[in-house]
Amino acid sequence: MKCFVMAVLAAAVIAGFTRTATAAENGKKTKKQFTLNPIGTVQKAGGKTRLVIDKEVAPALLGLDGWSHVWVFWWFDRNDTPQRRATLQVHPRGNRNNPLSGVFATRSPARPNLIALTLCKIISIKDNVVELEKIDAFDGTPVLDLKPYIPGYDSAEATVPDWLKK
Amino acid sequence: MKCFVMAVLAAAVIAGFTRTATAAENGKKTKKQFTLNPIGTVQKAGGKTRLVIDKEVAPALLGLDGWSHVWVFWWFDRNDTPQRRATLQVHPRGNRNNPLSGVFATRSPARPNLIALTLCKIISIKDNVVELEKIDAFDGTPVLDLKPYIPGYDSAEATVPDWLKK
């Protein structure tokens, strides 16, 4: 009986520890989460801007050379902290003269999900390397996805707030 | 001694089980992964299309009503299987007459990271609910992020492949 109690206690301690670790990994969220695996990396060197796509997913580039522009989805990896991901409102462009705005109304790099989006002009594609005209991401930034830019689907006659026009 | 062995064995069994579960959760990837927490849900009901944003992140909507159009980032949740996420090439629009293309050269819903992107016209915003003109996502789809559409930054004079023009 004593042995059984010890075994159960040992099991309970470890199970308890494991539950704690899992809760921490999940950031205390009980809701469903989704997982992103980077597909490549931004490389800025020698005056060139390139996306170096992981070789195992490089077959997914087939035919991208038929398009002039691509949406690059990347991760604001320098902001991947609980504090930055809890940021809900900012002054756009860090300028306190701009009205306090929700991050969903700005392109702030601090936001709940750190997905960044940039429309880029393709210069060339060779094997697993896509050379771009430019991108507003740092060297070494993880890349998440590429999608071709479709003019009719991806553009609109739009209005914007006054602070953007300054 | 016997008690100690039993306790260690019980601990080892539970720890072993936990390790297996964690390896499975990580999909056998050793590379860095990133985590997305949905910020809301697509709701299609009564002829209306709405994004119902989680109340805890609703302050991030402040000022979105100053923009006419918003990028909605959502998750292709019906494709969240290892097989669909391993899809690297497809015939666009499921039409075998279209040339085999890499998923990064199409908007295929089967791709390594299941991020979907739709440009939407905003009808109204009330509290945590954003009414849209329309969106090509199912009712109940998880929403990941919202970003305002900035005409100069988000549009380009672009060329597209022949199969798209048909």
Sketch the domain layout of chain A as residue ranges: 34-76+115-150, 77-113
Nearest CA in chain B to A160: B67
Superfamily of domain B32-150: YaeB-like (2.40.30.70)
**pLDDT on residue B31:** 77
Q: What is the ipTM of this complex?
A: 0.82
Residue owning tokens 């109940």: B140
**pLDDT on residue A30:** 54
* pTM tops 0.90, yes or no: no
In contact, A49 and A42? CB cutoff 8 Å? yes
A146 contact residues in B (CB cutoff 8 A): 104-105
What are the per-10-residue average pLDDT scores of chain A (166 residues)? 44 35 43 95 98 98 98 98 98 95 97 98 98 98 98 94 88
Query: In this structure, what token pair is assigned to residue B97?
Result: 């007459």
CA A58 to chain centre: 19
pLDDT at B23 over 90: no
**What percent of chain B is modeled with pLDDT above 70?**
82
What gap in Å lies between CA A117 and CA B128, rounded to an integer? 24
Residue A120 Rama label (left phi>0; alpha psi -120 to 50; beta)? beta
> Is A155's CB within 8 Å of B150's CB?
no
**pLDDT on residue B25:** 43
- In this predicted model, what pLDDT tens digit does every residue of B106-150 receive, in sequence order? 999 999 999 999 999 999 999 999 999 999 999 999 999 999 999
> Is B66's CB within 8 Å of A162's CB?
yes
**pLDDT on residue A166:** 77
In this structure, chain A runs to a length of 166
In contact, B150 and A93? CB cutoff 8 Å? no
Domain A34-76+115-150 top-level CATH class: mainly beta
Helix (H) or strand (E) holding A74: strand A69-75
Beta-carbon pairs below 8 A across chains A and B: 261
* B98 and A CB contact within 8 Å: no
Q: Give the type of residue at A21.
A: A
| Interface test with chain B among A13, A18, A19, A34, by most B beta carbons within 10 Å | A34
**pLDDT on residue B30:** 54
Which comes out higher in pLDDT, residue B58 or B6?
B58
**pLDDT on residue A22:** 40
pLDDT at B29 over 70: no
Average the pLDDT over B5-32 and give the result. Answer: 43
At B165, the pLDDT band (50, 70, 90 cuts) reads confident
